[in-house]
Amino acid sequence: MPVLDQEPSTDLGDGVGLPKLPLPDLKVTLDMYLRCMQHLLTEEQFNKTQNIVKQFGSPGGVGELLQSKLVERRESTANWVYEYWLNDMYLNNRLALPVNSSPAMVFPQQNFRAPIDSLRFAAHLISGVLEYKTLLDGRALPVDYARGQLAGTPLCMEQYYRLFTSYRLPGPERDTLVAQESSVMPEPEHIIVACKNQFFVLDVVINFRRLNERDLLTQLEKIVKMADSEDESLPHIGLLTSDGRTEWAESRSILMKESTNRDSLDMIERCMCLLCLDDASGAELSDTTRATLMLHGGGVTKNGGNRWYDKPMQFVVGANGCCGVVCEHSPFEGIVLVQCTEYLLKYMIGSPSKLVRAASVSELPAPRRLRWKCTPEIHKLIASSADKLQRLVRNLDMNVHKFYEYGKEFIKKQKMSPDAYIQVALQLAFYRCHGRPVSTYESASIRRFQQGRVDNIRSATPEALAFVRAMTDAKLSTSDMEKMEMLRNAITAQTKYTVLAITGMAIDNHLLGLREIALEMKMEKPEIFKDDAYLISNQFILSTSQVPTTVEMFCCYGPVVPNGYGACYNPQSDHIIFSVSSFRESPQTCSAEFVKCLVQGLLDMKDLCNKCNYNSDPAMQRKGQTVKKHTEMEANKQDKIQQRPSDQSKSQQTLPQVLVKSPDQNNPEAQTQTSEQNGSKS
């Protein structure tokens, strides 16, 4: 039986009052693992895996021993998987943070007519950040409640309190997530402003008074002048943070030998956030270009060194109106990033800029430039980091596509979950491109539980495979009604797995826990975790996430494997924004081709829904015949008057579109997923 809490406590402030994450039953997880993997393996691979899994789960076997240890761990910790998950997902990962790990939110394009306009925008934005931090410091942020599936459940708020108080410290083998503990005397309240690859300390509290927007603008103007007036060519230290984590840990240890560098690093590591004032990049500012500039700054020749990737929140304000936020992902999920940035954009829209007469300039001490002492060795390391970032910039193949044919309202009218529907469309797109299914990751929030982060919805279901084969293989000669039944089955399977994931009953976290507890016990790695199937199951060639917003902006991130795709989507009522990424160095992937297949699949799925709704609803057919008869009469009348035989056929061709708005009879089981269920990138 799965291990569940009976009576949660009542204090919900920081998640303590929520139930503990359940521990699924071992046999249920192993059976589900085989079901998830069978259609992704060869027959030979699956037979081998089946035997290994059977042995692992046998009475008195290794699996039962490890499960009993997880039961003990669950009793003694707030969340039995949290530490394992955090290390596995982020802190053990040695890849560079930009593109590979850190997602970005891209704001609407701003129209800055003069340099002062971008600084006004930045001052207004930071003013909003200070308002939001006041809410956090006072624990005044309202508790989030789940919507969609199992609506009304309170959600753990712990992640919010790491937005402006944490830092990812690089380590030679594993990074550390450093979180400042709140105390009676709060940490120094300052932000770091990056400008022309230099870093400046901007105190936002001076003489116990929080700077207002006028003060902030004054200080930002000073910083820009200071950055412009520097005679010597300063090293682009920020580039070191864009390197692989082990390389950056080594570079940081060398920097730390000098007291000047130690002081500068301390100021950056303890700051609230970064404000990156970017130079105009000169590129055409399409959605795709803005997404890439948010993810990597355009490399060393543009703003790639104007970053410090270890900080959770980097607000980017470009002189050319390219703005957004880059986040270090280990402290929190995408939904927390969305909620924070939506607050800020709504604050900026709802509270007009307050650039009124305020404290005189003389009262404000000048911001301080951070200094660095760099040996030839450090200069060499910076050059190496710059080269690697340039390769990453060249390698990223990003494609942001706004699909305007329809949005989530059409999908809801089919009585289908928009999230499940889009996931099936992504399966169809990948199959069209590559002719096979692959392990797919969709993040699902488990914030219903103490310290809950995410588990994985395995969207590559057998039901989805049956549907995409029927849609792509003409030899199968499947009827439309059969395809529609398969689509409904795929969506139902996706929805059921989503419910399992958000209630802590999916397989990925459980298998991770079993693997890690074996390591802690210094056991030989169990065969199940050395098996090809387990390696394949964790190669997420398709890494997906729904990141819906109520303000005009979108999220993007890179693939998580060299031959994979990142696919982030933002469903709106009448359109869907897709951010698809891959790597150019992989001969197997192409973002433009994937988007092309995705669009085709979405159109095919809509056509299928319309055809089947029409054919299955007698009322619609009667209405259609009446409309058709009326249309033909009108067309005949026009023929006689204008002698235009083409008008009749034109009227008949548009007829199916007239019928789209009619009510339909569909499966009521699937419900819309919302941001609380499906958070962000893996």
Residues designated catalytic: 329
CA distance 255 to 262: 7
Residue 308, both tokens: 């410090």
Cα 56 to Cα 380: distance, rounded to the nearest angstrom:
50
- Encoding tokens for residue 355? 């650039």
Question: How many CB atoms within 10 Å of residue 469?
Answer: 17
Single-letter amino acid code for the residue at 334? G
Pairing of strands 454-457, 440-445: antiparallel
Tokens 């402003």 label which residue?
193
At 266 the three-state DSSP class reads: helix
Q: Strand order of the sheet with strand 565-571?
A: 396-403, 576-583, 565-571, 542-546, 440-445, 454-457
The answer to whether 294 and 316 have CB atoms below 8 angstroms apart is yes
Max Cα–Cα distance, the chain, nearest Å? 93
d(CA 546, CA 564): 17
Closest CA to 70 of 416, 473, 519, 413: 519
Task: Give the residue among 110, 516, 149 at the shortest CA–CA distance from 318.
Answer: 110
Element spanning 275, H or E? strand 274-278
Beta-carbon contacts of 134 under 8 Å, excluding residues fewer than 6 positions away, are 140
Rg over alpha carbons for the chain, rounded to the nearest Å, is: 27
d(CA 635, CA 643): 10
Task: State both tokens at 328.
Answer: 């270090």
Question: DSSP string spanning 120-144?
Answer: HHHHHHHHHHHHHHHHHHTT-SPPP
Distance CA 387, CA 391 (A): 6
In 138-285, which ranges are continuous DSSP H helix?
A: 213-229, 245-255, 259-269
